[in-house]
Structure 1
């Protein structure tokens, strides 16, 4: 399998001199196509900072980020915006849907932002909604959806431009255990079916049997810690 996402020797610092705080310390991670990796660790360990850097939302102080064969570490803001729109799909703990757009239009907005709003995009939006059990909700607004439905819309939106990489930050935090598991199963299925590379930050250890690998962040450092996993990981 080819490497889709590679973070090499990532350090993130805030402040200057004696007041410098290192949030991440020389962190490296390689994620291959078709691989679903969970990142776990205590609050304040650097998990969200790590995911933000992986998704080109935040620049590292030092280190290199490679997506596919492209080093994105030195790209301009405009170029990074294109990378985020076209090559990375984000799923957050809050669905962050736009209240005045219908479910279908939430997806089509992503295509429009990427300059791809055409008949093919409309077909893809309809196919995604059907696949995620939301076809009957296509013309509804977010306020009429359940929490689980809103999160499924967020997933469909993340997949709209067929990104190579999926990044999920606590995607089950606002859901009960059953709906949370449904969401992670959808992510896992997409990773295998479409050969995506996915990284999920989570505090929910009940979901870890659905991923391929677990890495642990503590005090800004990353390590493989299989003993932290309460379920068999396959």
Structure 2
């Protein structure tokens, strides 16, 4: 049986104080295994973004446990969580969020500098990722010189740069047409399977769900599992 890369156990998240408290996540339990690509869908306001932020250690849960592998990150301090995000989690956002004054290659190398990889090792790794994603010929281009699909592929390459155990994608196809969106999600799915990692994608795009191993639906702060697609 494959190992769990990410585990949430009865995770709750409440915002506000006193009478103004709002419980956004109401006891989320989810396991994502190595090689598994999970889609999370549901109406706006159902808690999907909060769920992704808590899963990615951007927000701390009010209660419950979050495990990355065998490590409980629920009670770690801010400095420790920074290291968890750097080493264990890759993020792909709705807009690629590329730094406008860095080339495609330098977007990736910036992460390697934070991780203190040697420059030679980092360049080799960056070029390998860009080649797999069909971007090596664009490595010296700036974000404004790229198409929407190329920017998202760059974001995917950047997310994989430090070889994280988990990829979290927030509406990665929102700014893309159907063909380019499917190409981006297919690349995510292929990389997850190839590298035996785990990925969660929050999406409204029903056309992408067949590329995922499993779909879970979020309603009113709770996850409702559905059969695999």
TM tier, shorter chain?
A: over 0.9
| Alignment match, 2:152 | 151
Runs of 4+ deviating beyond 6 Å: none
Q: What is the alpha-carbon distance in structure 2 between the residues aligned to residue 73 and residue 18 of structure 1?
A: 25
Q: What is the alpha-carbon distance in structure 2 between the residues aligned to residue 125 and residue 77 of structure 1?
A: 28
Q: How does 1:175-194 map to 2 (within 5 A)?
A: 175-194=176-195
Q: How does 1:88-99 map to 2 (within 5 A)?
A: 88-99=89-100
The number of aligned residues is 228
Q: What is the alpha-carbon distance in structure 2 between the residues aligned to residue 154 and residue 136 of structure 1?
A: 16
Contact kept, 8 Å, 1:108 with 1:117, in 2: the verdict is no
Contact kept, 8 Å, 2:46 with 2:218, in 1: the verdict is yes
| Alignment match, 2:16 | 15
Contact kept, 8 Å, 1:181 with 1:207, in 2: the verdict is yes
How far apart are residue 17 of structure 1 and its match? 2.4
Q: What is the alpha-carbon distance in structure 1 between the residues aligned to residue 87 and residue 118 of structure 2?
A: 13
| Alignment match, 1:209 | 210
**TM-score, normalised with respect to structure 2:** 0.98
Structure 2 stretches lacking a partner, 5+ long = none
How far apart are residue 123 of structure 1 and its match? 0.2
CA offset digits 1:15-65 (Å, max 9, x no partner):
122221110001111000011100000000000100000000011111111
Q: How does 1:1-234 map to 2 (within 5 A)?
A: 1-226=2-227, 233=229
Structure 1 stretches lacking a partner, 5+ long = 227-231
Q: What is the alpha-carbon distance in structure 1 between the residues aligned to residue 69 and residue 16 of structure 2?
A: 32
Contact kept, 8 Å, 1:82 with 1:114, in 2: the verdict is no
Q: Secondary structure at the match of 1:75?
A: coil
**TM-score, normalised with respect to structure 1:** 0.96
How far apart are residue 118 of structure 1 and its match? 2.5
Q: What is the alpha-carbon distance in structure 2 between the residues aligned to residue 179 and residue 216 of structure 1?
A: 24
Please report the RMSD computed on the Cα atoms of aligned residues, expressed in angstroms: 0.9
Q: What is the alpha-carbon distance in structure 1 between the residues aligned to residue 24 and residue 49 of structure 2?
A: 10
Q: What is the alpha-carbon distance in structure 1 between the residues aligned to residue 166 and residue 96 of structure 2?
A: 18
CA offset digits 1:138-174 (Å, max 9, x no partner):
1111111010000000000000001110100000000
Q: What is the alpha-carbon distance in structure 2 between the residues aligned to residue 183 and residue 162 of structure 1?
A: 18
Q: What is the alpha-carbon distance in structure 2 between the residues aligned to residue 79 and residue 117 of structure 1?
A: 23
Q: Secondary structure at the match of 2:57?
A: coil
Q: What is the alpha-carbon distance in structure 2 between the residues aligned to residue 7 and residue 118 of structure 1?
A: 36
